[in-house]
Amino acid sequence: MENLRVVLLLVFGTVVSASQLQAQAAPDATEAALVKAVDNGTAADVALLERLVNINSGTMNLPGVIKVKDILEPQFEELGFKTRWVPMDNLTARAGDLIAEHPCPQGKGKCGKHILLIGHMDTVFEPTSVFQTYEIVKGTDGRVATGPGVADMKGGLVIMLRSLKAMKAAGVLDRCEITVVLSGDEERMGSPETLSRRDLIDAGKRSDLALEFENASRDAGVDGRDAVRIGRRSSTTWTIETTGRSGHSSGIFGDTLGDGAIYELVRILDQFRTELPEHGLTYNVGMVLGGATAKENAEKTGGEATGKANVTPPVALAVGDLRTLDEDQTTRVKKKMEAIVRDHLAKTGATITFNEGYPAMGVTAGSQALLAQLQEVNKTLGYAPEVVTDPVLGGAGDISFVAPYVPGLVGVGAMGAGAHAEGETVYLDSLPRQAKRMAILMYRESRE
């Protein structure tokens, strides 16, 4: 029995019981070759991850993002992809997009489903961060590593490449139609989005399904159950500006001065709090300014207000964000917010502006069907079914821009914890596990 456990560990990357083994559909010869090719590349993958993590590629460190691109691009070319770099520095003040295309040799549409792979090369950690290097976390027996972007999402880039390399080694990549879009600004999207997400949206319109290699999680740490998502909430920012008549405070609430700009702002925000709640919706207020003057700073990270206790304030503003489960909810809630803003107090005015952001990726029948196919892959590999994470528990991402055109899976990259915070970690055993899942899933999709 112990020998059987060792064989299972080597082949599947996990240990399953005899009853589980009998229940699973055994991999065919090609899928077994995919599994073997992934296992053969694990050591190289960990080395590549360390190399990528030790390059600072904070979104605003454009040369650093390009250094990551320069490592990845030749690896895609070696696999037979045609690559191109789309610089964005003069358009959106960001690094750009790496596009890699693997056309179907028999002609478009003759290699099963056209698969879109989505990722990004930037991290939230700029050169000013004290968190800069890759290292193994002490006391984890080499199972956990830490470093800037180690899970979000340089681990995902390594998984993406390994799954494709395994397909090449097993002789199936040449019969696949795959497009890869790696952005340089996912963590701090450039504006306007019509330019910064142009390449991604164009690729989505030409594809049949999308896999986003962002980081995922486990429900109980390194030994927990793997998770995946089929939905993402939106992320939009809004600004409210209110106005009122100014004068001596003794006249507030009167016929001449009315209620003032700050009371108007408070009314709006309190009505948001009491009238908007519904499942999956959040609407945070991040900053409030008001008084005789109120102005945000250029970086949109703060501002300045002046005023006196005995002066009725003529201006106030608030900024916040809005997160929704799908675009229907986005439209409905925006209309409610606009109606609340229009219901002014005496002698005041107000406007609300919604800024560019990430749309929602609603859960669809197509994504549920793709999830079912992934769970079949898990059965073949002897893995437990993946936990489906509630979209409320996750943030926004690039796949949402193509969600209107294709079904997709979210978080098929590295498993870890603490993304976007110093001390971010990756569970190193998730690299081969995820690469096996994606290699087999893409192989099966290319046959449909």
- Report DSSP letters for 97-159, one per residue: EEEEEE--TT-TTSSSSEEEEEEE--BS--TTSS----EEPTTSTT-EEE-TTTTTTHHHHHH
CA dihedral 72, 78, 82, 88 (to 10 degrees): 10
Q: 222 with 151: CB under 8 angstroms? A: no
Q: What is the DSSP string of 348-384?
A: EEEEEEEPP-BPPB---HHHHHHHHHHHHHHHHHTPP
CATH code matching the domain that covers 236-354, chosen among 3.30.70.360, 3.40.50.300, 2.40.128.20, 3.55.50.30 = 3.30.70.360
| Nearest Cα residue to 208 out of 184, 181, 179, 188 | 179
Residue with tokens 């209309």: 335
Alpha helices in 227-364 (DSSP H): 261-275, 327-342
Alpha-carbon distance values, 238 to 337, 339, 398 (Å):
10, 15, 20
Contact 432, 373 (CB under 8 A): no
Tokens (6 digits) for 334: 């925006």
pLDDT band at 356 (very low <50, low <70, confident <90, very high): confident
pLDDT tens-digit series, residues 107-135: 888 899 999 999 999 999 999 999 999 99
133, 50 contact by CB (below 8 A): no
Classify domain 2-232+361-445 at the CATH class level: alpha beta
Instruction: Please state, in angstroms and as integers, the Cα–Cα distance from residue 118 to each residue in 28, 209, 336, following that order.
Output: 28, 11, 34
249 has a pLDDT exceeding 70: yes
CA 201, CA 194: separation in Å to the nearest integer? 9
Q: Which range, of 56-60, 107-111, 441-445, averages the lowest pLDDT?
A: 107-111
What's the rounded mean pLDDT across residues 312-333? Answer: 96
Report the C-alpha gap between 137 and 359 in whole angstroms.
36
Residue 71 confidence (pLDDT): 98
Paired residues of 98 in beta bridges = 85, 182
Residue 46 token pair = 């960990």
Q: In whole numbers, what is the pLDDT of the chain averaged over residues? A: 93
| pLDDT value, residue 24 | 52
3 pLDDT more than 60? no
Question: Where in the chain are all domains bearing CATH 3.30.70.360?
Answer: 236-354
Q: Which residues pair with 427 in a beta bridge?
A: 144
Q: Which residue has the tokens 């090719």?
A: 37
Number of H helices and E strands in the chain, helices first, is 13, 21
Mean local confidence (pLDDT), 203-214:
97
Above pLDDT 70, what percent of the chain? 94
| Nearest-angstrom CA–CA distance, 120 and 152 | 9
Q: Give the pLDDT of residue 232.
A: 94
Residues of the chain with CATH 3.40.630.10: 2-232+361-445
Give the whole-angstrom CA distance, residue 427 versus residue 144: 5
Looking at residue 14, its pLDDT comes to: 42
- Taking a C-beta distance cutoff of 8 angstroms, is the pair 330, 344 a contact? no
> What is the pLDDT, as a whole number, of residue 25?
63
